[in-house]
Chain A
C-alpha cells in the first residue's frame, strides 16, 4: 500500500515537472500578489511589518487555491480517474498520493520563498523560523482540504469559482492560527499553543480528507 502511495506521488511529480509552467505560475502569483501590498498600503515600514504575517498567509492560501483545480481535473477529463478508481489500491491512498505530490509542487516552493518575501514586508527576523514552521504545518492542511473541494466540483461548469466558495471558509482556522503563531513569535510570546493547533488541524485533515475526497470522486465518475 505504501508502495502504491509512492507510485502515485512519483507519477504526479513527473507529470507536474514535465508541465513545469503550472507550478511556476503558482509561485509567481504568490510573489506578485505579495509585492502588490506595499504599493497598495504605502511604503510605511511599521504598517508593512504589522500586516506582513497576514499578507503572506492570505496570499499562500490563494496561491494554493489557484492550483487546486488541476489536482483531479486532468485525470477526470482523460479517463485516468476511472482506471485509478478501479485499480486494486484503496482510493483514499491514491488521493493521499495525489495530495502529497500537489503539496510538494506548490506548498513546498511557497514555504521556501516566504522568508524572502517576509524581508520585503519588513517582518521582524524573530518571526522567520516560526513563519516557515507554521507554513510547513499549515500548507499540507490547505492541500488536503482543497482536495475535498476539488473532488466535489469535478464536472461542474465554472468549477473554479464554486471551488473558492467551498474551500476558503474551511481555510479560516489554518489562517487564524498560522498568522497568530507568527505574530506571537515576532512579539516574543509563547507559540506552543498555535503550533499544537496547526498540528492538530493537519492530523485531522490527513485522517478525514482523503476519505471525503474519494467519496466525492466516486460520485463524480458515476
Chain B
C-alpha cells in the first residue's frame, strides 16, 4: 500500500555494502613450505578481523601479504573491488603495517623518528609537527619527545611504533601482536584508539595472543587453512 516507506522494498545491494578489502583463495609459501592455502576473508568499513592460531601458523605472513610486503603464491587481494597487485602503491599508501620490529632509530629522538614518517606520508611541516604532538600525547609519550630512541624501553618503543598509526589518515590497519611489551594502561589506550578508528569506518586486522577487547569482531583460525 505505502510502498515508499516499506523497508522491505529496498534493493538488496543497499542492505549489504560490498567489502572494502577482500582476500580470495590466498596461499603463502615460505621457503619450500606451504604455510596456508585457500584462505579467504572480507572486511567492510568498521570491521575488525582477529587472526588466531599457534606459532608458525602464518599469522605474521598473512599480515605481510595483506600489507603487500609478501606476494601471495596463489589467489589475490582486492581493494574496493580492484586487484591490489595492479596498484600496490596506492594500497601501501592507504594501509599501515605495525610489525614485530619497531623501526625506532636509536640516534633520533622520539619526535624526530615520528616526524620523518609523517613527512614521508605526505604530511607537511607544521601539520606534521601537530600530528606528531597529537600522537605522542595520545600514547602518553609527550614527556619523552626529545629522548633518543636508544634510551627507550621495549614498551615505549612499541608505543612509538603504534603512534605512527595516528600520523596520517589511513583506512586499513594491519597489526602484528600490537600489545607485546605493553602494560595494562597502554593496552586500554590501544583498544580505545582501535574503537575510534573503526567508528570512523576504518578496518583493522590484528594477530594476537593476549586478550584485547575489540567489541564485535570476526576471527580467522589460521590452522584451518594449513595444507
B74 to chain A, nearest CB (A): 16
Q: Is A7's CB under 8 angstroms from B69's CB?
A: no
Closest 7 CB pairs of A and B: A79-B101, A88-B93, A18-B107, A79-B103, A80-B103, A86-B92, A87-B120
In the complex, residue of chain B having the shortest beta-carbon distance to the beta carbon of A75: B103
Would you list which residues of chain A between 59 and 105 have a CB under 8 Å from chain B? 77-80, 82-90
Which B residues are in CB contact (< 8 Å) with A79?
99-103
- In the complex, what residues of A have CB within 8 A of residue B119's CB? 7
Q: Name the residue of chain B whose CB is nearest to the CB of A91.
A: B89
Of residues 89 through 131 on chain A, the ones whose CB sits less than 8 Å from some CB of chain B are 89-90
Question: Is A15 engaged at the interface, CB distance under 8 Å to the other chain?
Answer: yes
Indicate with 1 or 0, residue by residue over B63-105, a CB within 8 angstroms of chain A CB atoms. 0000111110000000000000000011011010101111111
CB-CB < 8 A to B139: which residues of A?
Answer: none
Query: In the complex, A15→B118 CA distance in Å?
Result: 17
Q: Interface readout for A11-39 with B: 1 if CB under 8 Å, 0 if not?
A: 10011001100000000000000000000
> Which residues does chain B contribute within 8 Å of A80, judged by CB atoms?
103, 105
B67 touching A86, Cβ below 8 Å: yes
- Once the chains are docked, how many angstroms separate the CA of A7 from the CA of B120? 7
> Do residues A78 and B120 form an inter-chain contact, with CB atoms below 8 A?
no
What are the residues of chain A within 8 A of B90 when measuring CB–CB? 88
Q: Whole-angstrom distance between the alpha carbons of A87 and B92 in the complex?
A: 6
Since A77-B101, A83-B103 are in contact, a sample of 18 more A-B pairs with Cβ atoms closer than 8 Å, ordered by chain A residue number, is A4-B120, A7-B116, A7-B120, A8-B120, A18-B107, A79-B101, A79-B102, A82-B97, A82-B103, A83-B117, A86-B69, A86-B92, A88-B92, A88-B122, A221-B69, A222-B69, A222-B70, A222-B71
Contact A78 B104, beta carbon cutoff 8 Å: yes
Q: Chain B nearest CB: distance from A24 CB in Å?
A: 15
Cα–Cα distance between A18 and B67 once the two chains are bound (Å): 32
Q: Does B24 make an interface contact (CB < 8 A)?
A: no
Q: How many A residues face the partner with a CB closer than 8 A?
A: 23
Contact among B89, B112, B117 with A90 in the assembled complex (CB-CB below 8 Å):
B89
Q: Does B209 contact A (CB under 8 A)?
A: no
Q: How far is the CB of B26 from chain A (nearest CB, A)?
A: 15
Q: With the chains together, A78 CA to B70 CA distance in Å? A: 18
Q: How many angstroms from the CA of A221 to the CA of B99 in the assembled complex?
A: 12
CB neighbours (8 Å) of B104 from chain A are 78
> With A18-B108, A19-B107, A82-B97 known to touch, is A88 a contact of B70 (CB < 8 Å)?
no
Q: Which residues of B contact A78 (CB under 8 A)?
A: 101-105
B89 to chain A, nearest CB (A): 6
**What would be 10 A-B contacts, judged by CB atoms less than 8 Å apart?**
A8-B120, A14-B108, A77-B101, A78-B104, A79-B102, A83-B164, A86-B97, A88-B122, A221-B69, A222-B71
The B97-145 residues at the A interface (CB cut-off 8 A) are 97, 99-105, 107-108, 112, 116-117, 119-122
Task: Report how far A185 CA is from B7 CA in the complex, Å.
Answer: 89
Indicate which residue in A4, A7, A14, A88 contacts B89 across the interface (CB closer than 8 Å).
Answer: A88
The interface residues of chain B lying within 8 Å CB-to-CB of A83 are 97, 103, 117, 164
Cβ-closest chain A residue relative to B97:
A86
With a CB–CB cut-off of 8 A, which chain B residues contact A8? 120
- A77-B69 Cα distance, complex, nearest whole Å: 15
Shortest Cβ distance from B122 into A: residue = A88
Query: Which partner residue on chain B sits nearest A11 by CB separation?
Result: B116
Closest residue on chain B to residue A79 by CB atoms: B101
Do A85 and B69 touch across chains, with their CB atoms under 8 A apart?
Answer: yes
